[in-house]
Amino acid sequence: MLDIHRLREDPIGIEKRLQSRDPSIGLTEILKLDEKRLSLIQQVEERKAERNRGSQEVGRLKMDGKDTSKLIASLSSLAEEIAHLDDELKQVSARIDHLLALLPNVPHPSVPVGAKEEKVVLRSYKESPLFDFPIKHHLEIGEEKGILDFGRAATIAGARFPMYMGMGARLEMALIQFMFSYHAKNGYIPVIPPFLANSESFFVASQLPKFADDVYYCEKDDLYLNPTAESLLVNLHRGEILSLEDLPLNYVAYTPCFRREAGTYGEDERGLIRVHQFNKVEMFKFTAQETSYSELDQIVADAEGVLQALGVHYRVTLLSTQDLAQQSSKTIDLEVYLPGQGRYYEVSSCSNCEDFQARRGNTRYRPAALEKPLYVHTLNGSGLATSRLLAAILENNQMKDGRVRIPEVLKEMVGAEFI
């Protein structure tokens, strides 16, 4: 959530930067309501001061044995006016909070202005493998080898739910274990959080109120299914004041993730590309304000380390303003190449949300003893999501004889060199 003081100080500049994300965004209503709120606060304070002076006068009149009925009647009328102004103030404040909750984060100055397709390629790792035989889509490979069974998964749950079988299940679990251990060895604190969360947690994460239709909701229990561990980890220190010495706090979590993915998707997004359920290892950081962008570089490097260990060709892209998630100020994606489709797909998204989520969760740190607490900056990064990564392994490691090479770092856990 944005700081209303920031909007007051630079309304034109902030509005222009927000409109680079969405041209329909306007701050006029919020700023007018903010002026009204400030006026109401002043009116309430003036009338309360008047009421206090009147109460003191009543006491003096009574001590002098004088009539206080007219003054008491006047104070009663003043109390009603204060109550009315208080109600109006609550309504105006609630409307401001609602509108602020819908606004996205302000893009960092380094983020290119543009549409979703206008991302900037920063660098790449390795080259895509060359094949001297007809290559297959990962779904074709998975079904031929009996390691992916979307048909039976659909019988159990419906379309776009995956089911891993045999070596497919072993490869999926090996990926999870490898990535979870990899980040833990790099100093991230391992976490396996609850897979459901309450509405306040999802508000802090910025899933609510704007994206309520995108998540699975358990109405009877008033709980939401986790769409990404970011939504859970951002609440680890909700309402706390940390010390500068505590920061950065680095966490890594494993969770299954559930997304409604409402909409119609084309043939190119079949198989493991866009599913309602997938596994993910997530990195999350709470940092001091002045170090958050160096920590963003680090979280990207940690995600890249996984792909390099797996020997997968990938590229690093900087997202444009219109492709940012609501809470993000800057996002860098890692994209793997799938030769079966001749295109890149995102497998890790690393974002600096600055103090956007921390304001919602009131998560702060004290720079030094007796100093005023500041809001932390929060960062998240997939480390990584397994579904598209597994697809990349199947498609990039396919061989002419029909086998698929297992990445070296996974062979021992999978218990085989080939599928």
Question: What single letter denotes the amino acid at residue 346?
Answer: E
pLDDT at site 262: 67
**Residue 140 a catalytic site member:** no
Q: In angstroms, rounded to a whole number, what is the distance separating the alpha carbons of residues 173 and 208?
A: 31
Instruction: Report pLDDT digits (tens) over 259-273.
Output: 998 665 666 789 999
Q: For residues 311-326, b (16+ Cβ closer than 10 Å) or e, as one string?
A: bbbbbbbbbbbbbbbb
Please pick, among 21, 37, 360, 388, the residue that the annotation labels catalytic: 388
Compute, in degrees rounded to 10, the torsion defined by CA atoms 115, 121, 126, 128.
30
Cis peptide bond N-terminal to 209, omega within 30: yes
pLDDT at site 268: 72
Please pick, among 259, 282, 335, 360, the residue that the annotation labels catalytic: 259
Q: What is the DSSP string of 211-249?
A: TGGGS-EETTTTEEE-S-THHHHTTTTTT-EEEGGGPSE
**Residue 382 a catalytic site member:** no
Q: How many CB atoms lie within 10 A of CB 1?
A: 20
pLDDT at site 210: 87
Please pick, among 201, 206, 349, 351, the residue that the annotation labels catalytic: 349
pLDDT at site 90: 97
pLDDT at site 2: 97
All domains of the chain in start order, with CATH? 4-102 (1.10.287.40), 120-414 (3.30.930.10)
- Do β-strands 364-366 and 241-243 pair in parallel, antiparallel, or remain unpaired? parallel
**Residue 366 a catalytic site member:** no
Please pick, among 282, 295, 304, 346, the residue that the annotation labels catalytic: 346
Residue ranges in the chain modelled with pLDDT below 50: none
Please pick, among 170, 274, 360, 364, the residue that the annotation labels catalytic: 274
**Residue 270 a catalytic site member:** no
Query: Considering the entire predicted model, what is its pTM?
Result: 0.94
Q: In angstroms, rounded to a whole number, what is the distance separating the alpha carbons of residues 374 and 140?
A: 52
**Residue 360 a catalytic site member:** no
